[in-house]
Structure 1
Amino acid sequence: MKRDQLESSLAAIGVHPDSFSLGSIRHSECVCVVPEDGQWKVFYVERDKPKELASFSREEDAYDFVYATFCKWMGVPNP
């Protein structure tokens, strides 16, 4: 999915905008998607310490992963 689709999809399932960051690492409890070394990396930041969850060659795949992850965490079916 594209960035705007991810933002609207996350809002639709009740994810607060402070729970994710697209494009940069935010030092708070959140999921971050950042371009790094030709890859799109997904991190979970907890206590200002990023932990890499996944890495993708395509931005859309990273966003799909983020949406699926939030669906799983929130107990929402992923269509």
Structure 2
Amino acid sequence: MKKEQLLSDLSAIGVDANSYSLGVIRHGDCACVVAQNDKWKVYYVERDKPAELAMLDAEEQAYDFVYETFCKWLGVEKLQ
């Protein structure tokens, strides 16, 4: 999915904007998507320590992963 769609979908399922970061690793408890070495990495930062959750080939794949992960964490069905 595209960035705008991710933002819309996360808002629709009730994810606060402070719970994620797109483009930089932010301190605090949040999911972060960053481009590194021609890959897209998804991290979860807890207590200022990033843990890699996934490494993907495309930005859209990373956004799909983030959305699906939040749906699992929140126990909600994915929007169609």
Unaligned runs of 5+ in 1: none
| Structure 1 Cα separation of the partners of residues 39 and 56 of structure 2 | 6
Taking only the aligned residue pairs, the percentage that are identical comes to 62
Q: CA deviation at 1:57?
A: 0.6
Alignment of 1:1-79 (within 5 A): 1-78=1-78, 79=80
| Structure 1 Cα separation of the partners of residues 8 and 28 of structure 2 | 21
Q: Report runs of 4+ in structure 1 exceeding 4 Å deviation.
A: none
Unaligned runs of 5+ in 2: none
| Structure 1 Cα separation of the partners of residues 38 and 23 of structure 2 | 13
Deviations 1:7-56 (A, max 9, x none): 01000000000000000000010000000011000000000000000010
Q: TM-score, normalised by structure 2?
A: 0.97
| Structure 1 Cα separation of the partners of residues 26 and 6 of structure 2 | 18
Counterpart secondary structure, 1:15: coil
User: What is the alpha-carbon root mean square deviation over aligned residues?
Assistant: 0.6
Counterpart secondary structure, 2:14: coil
